[in-house]
Every structure is written in C-alpha cells, then in structure tokens.
Amino acid sequence: MNRQQAKLLRRSIKWIVSATLTVVLLTGCTSGTGNNVSNAGNANTASAKPVAIDPQPSTVFYEVFVRSFYDSDGDGIGDFKGLTEKLDYLNDGNPETDDDLGIGGIWLMPINPSPSYHGYDVTDYRDINPDYGTMEDFKEFLDEAHKRGIKVIMDLVVNHTSNEHPWFLDAARNKDGKYRDWYIWAEDQKLKTRGTSSASSRNPWHNAGGDHYMGIFWEGMPDLNFDNPEVRQEMKDTGLFWLEQGVDGFRLDAAKHIYEDLRTDKGQETTDANVKWWQEFRGSLVEKYPDTYLVGEIWDPSAALIANYLDNALESGFNFGLSESIIQAAKKEKDNNIGLTLEKTYSLFREKSGDEFVDATFLTNHDINRVMTQLDGNVDHAKMAAGLLLTLPGNPFIYYGEEIGMLGAKPDESIREPMQWHAGGSGQGQTTWEAVNFNTGAEGSSVEEQVSDPDSLQSHYRKLIGIRSSVPALRDGTIGDIDSGNDSVTAYLRLTDQQTVLVAHNLTETEQSIDLAKAGEEFSFKSILKSTREGATLEGNKLTIPGYTTLVIE
C-alpha cells in the first residue's frame, strides 16, 4: 500500500469513527466497543471523549553526523562503511531481539561534497562527500538499512550553496553568464545593501568582485534565487535524483528562509511564498514517489507558523517549542501541561493539513546544546526527558549519542563531537576528526559500558522504544489532555480508534499518586500495561508511581 492509498484508508477510518461518535453523542450513549489490538490485553475505546481521533503512524528516527559516527578505515573520519557496520546497533532487523536500539529511521546530516566539516555549504548536489566514501558505499548502506526495515532521509540544503560551488564561481566572475541570476545580486536587482539577516542578525550582503550577493547565514553560503525557474527545476530534479538512489525523503534545511531573508521580511506574504515553493517541490516528488517523507527545519516556536507548511507542502515541521517544554519539565521536575498544548496545536495542524500531518519531536539536535549538558548531567532527568519524548505523538528524533548522555555546548563543533563507543574514549572505529572537549571518556559514558547495564540511560532508551513499538496507541495515536491533579506528574491520553491508554510520568524522586477518575467517566483504566521501574500500584482509581518513572495504563 502506498502513501496515497494509506491516506484514503485513514480518511475512511476517521469518517467512520467520526460518524460513530456523532451517533453516540446524539443517542446519549457513553459506552463503546473496539477491537483488542494491544499485545497486553484489553484495549479501551475512545467512546464519546471529545478528542479528534487522527492517527499519526510514527517511526523513531536517529540523527547521524556521519563524520562523527564510526570510522571504518582508520583515518579518524566516520564514513558510510562504518555506519553500515553499526546498523545492528541501531536496529538489527530482528524483532525478537532486544539488544539493539530499535529505531526505524535515520536522518543523515549533509553527505554532499563541501569545503566545511559540517557540509551545510554544498559544492555538488549529486555526489557523496569523499570523506564519507563513494556512491557505491552509500548505496550499500541504503540497501542494508532497508533490509533491517530502517527508512533513510537525508539533509537537503537548497536555500544556499557554498561560495565554492561552480555555479557561484561562474556567477561571481561572469555577469552575463548562465548562473548569474541563480543568486541574488544587489546591483543586478537594484537592491540596497543594508538590512539585518533574519538568520544571523548581521548584514546579509557580501562583496564579490565589487558587487554584493545575499548570504543570510554567512558569506560562505550565498543564497539561491528561487524566483528563477531554472533554480526551482534544478532543486526538484536534485530531489528526484536522490529518491532514485533509494532515499525515503528529506530533512529540509532552513525551510522558512527560501524567501525570508531579512528581519523585515517576516510576515504572512513571505510565509505564503515559502509554502508555495515547498508545495511545488513536494508535488514534483510524490507524483513519482508517493511515499516520500518531508520534514522541515522551521525554527520558530509558533505552531501557527509551522501549520502553514503542513498544507500540501511538508508532512512534518520540527517542534522546537515542544523540545524546550520537555527539557524544562524534566529539569524543574514540574508538569507544564504538555498534553494540553499539543491537543490545541494538533487541532490547528489538522485544520491546515486536512488531517494529514505527523509531528516531528526531538530533544536537541546538531544546532542546540546537548540535552545532558542542559540537564547538568542528571541521568534521572535525562531518563524523564526521554520518557516524555518517546510517549508523545509523531516521529521522535534522537540525536546521535543522546541515548548515552553525550555532553556538548556551543560552539557547534562541540555539540557534534565523536560518538563514544568505547570505555575510556578510544578503540576500533572511534572517530578522531576533532579533539573532544566534553566527551573525554569518563567512566560509564560509552556504548560499551552502558549497553550491558540494565540501569543505564542507553538501556532506558531501548526499553522506551520497545514500549512505544509494542503499544499501538503510543506508536500511532493522537493525544488527549487530562489534569493529573499533581504538579509533579505529567499525564495525558494517547488514542487511536481502537485503543486508549493513559501515560503518567513522575518527574520527581519521591513517590507520587494521582486520581485516575480525573481522566473522565468514559474511561475505565484497570491495569498497568508498561512501566520503566518496578513498584507502581493501581488500586481503584488511585495510581501510585515510584520516583522518576514512566507508566502506561490501560
């Protein structure tokens, strides 16, 4: 079944459920029936709960910086052969085993040739960075990932190129050449060389041969001119090229900056221009590859802004506001109404997307101080942040090393340090492309040490991903808010048309209790389905939760 067929099926299911709920409401009936789809037993039905049952079938993604991950040839730089060698750590393809992390998708940071270590300034959109290997190495990696049921999306950086890209070199020296109008030149377009960049807070104009080009991030990244139809076609063709190689979709860098160049550009008209381009881009891809997944970096806390991009443009936009809320809840050990916020957010997303969206949730990424550093090294807080992330709707994205508590803070190089595989920080495959400032081989900080420790952060991540995979409402459901009545406990409902569960997180070290009657009379929660720690009890409506524990109740 392809994505278009799946959408039709989902719409049919939602219509049936909606009609059923309407009949229930009109007849005053408060009971319902549903098929048992839980591995653990009886599943509750959504009944007349006024929560829209819009499933978000999800996959746990893992963000990889190839340079830092695993080195196969001893040059100190991670590569595709090394990543392929470590696929079984991420997912060995065997659902009967539990010693792999259990992820279902990989997001590759830029893999194209680039003069920079990070790759976000591309010099060739249709080749592989030679530091990482060859196109053949990449295709072998794709094949092995797909054998294990792992989807692969890659960073696509179309807002700008490198200033060493052949297009830009030609444009800078040849005012009458083909590529001149592929970039934005102040003198050509009679623009004033002033203003403040919407991305860097600096002047976005840079000198080249006496003329000035737009580069909102820095001078090494000249912006492309998307008013030029040749640029638009080139980028659509580039997307198709990589889909033909076998990738499953793209993470779209700087998705809101295609037209948002200056701080004065912010506004609905500019947003509409961005959305129109991404609609065009998406349409060109899904016509041939209907299952293409597009997730955008729309770095903004506004759900209303992100919602614009879900209108037949992107399937997901990274939820930056949620990442901050999760980390603060874990750090302060206090409920901050995540369920209520998301319930309202998803109502807006449904309206804008025609019920076709999947949230993209995360704790941190390659641009943000690592979560363990933000949490001051507190492993219990890190476990609770992971518990929140992995029990919420959408596609959760885990930044490489997050599962072992890697540390890091700005500058960017220090939040992209080598993955720590071995005790003491050295061993086979360990990347050494830069000296580490934060991850210096402290005891217990490596995969080698944590993978066999049942109380480690890495084991906690494995457990949570396993729980998510085994409970349909966690994996694919939407969210409903409830008031736990206890500021130390975050609780919410997760719902599909066939199963409803209640998730409760005790954010503190001290045992806490909540009254499940607050979930509403239409729900009757009878048993503890999953727990990250022993000692929880359910007596009548009284749920008692041990310290720093995540529970799933059915």
324 is catalytic: no
How far apart CA 194 and CA 184 sit, in angstroms, is 14
Considering 79, 85, 155, 253, which one is annotated as catalytic? 253
Burial of 230-260, coded b for 16+ CB within 10 Å and e otherwise, reads ebbebbbebbbebbeeebbbbbbbbbbbbbb
Residue 125 contacts by C-beta under 8 Å, 6 or more apart in sequence?
112, 234, 238, 241
Considering 79, 248, 297, 449, which one is annotated as catalytic? 297
Can you list the positions of beta strands (E) in 400-468? none
Residue 21 contacts by C-beta under 8 Å, 6 or more apart in sequence?
46, 48, 53
Burial class (CB within 10 angstroms; exposed 0-12, middle 13-18, buried 19+) of 540 = exposed
For residue 195, the one-letter residue type is G
Tokens of 25: 């409401």
Tokens of 396: 């959760």
Asked whether the beta carbons of 552 and 467 are under 8 A apart, the reply is yes
219 is catalytic: no
CA separation (Å) from 392 to 54, 168, 270, 441?
Answer: 14, 43, 31, 32
Q: What is the CA radius of gyration of the chain?
A: 24
Residue 95 contacts by C-beta under 8 Å, 6 or more apart in sequence?
none
Q: How many residues does the chain have?
A: 554
Catalytic (active-site) positions: 253, 297
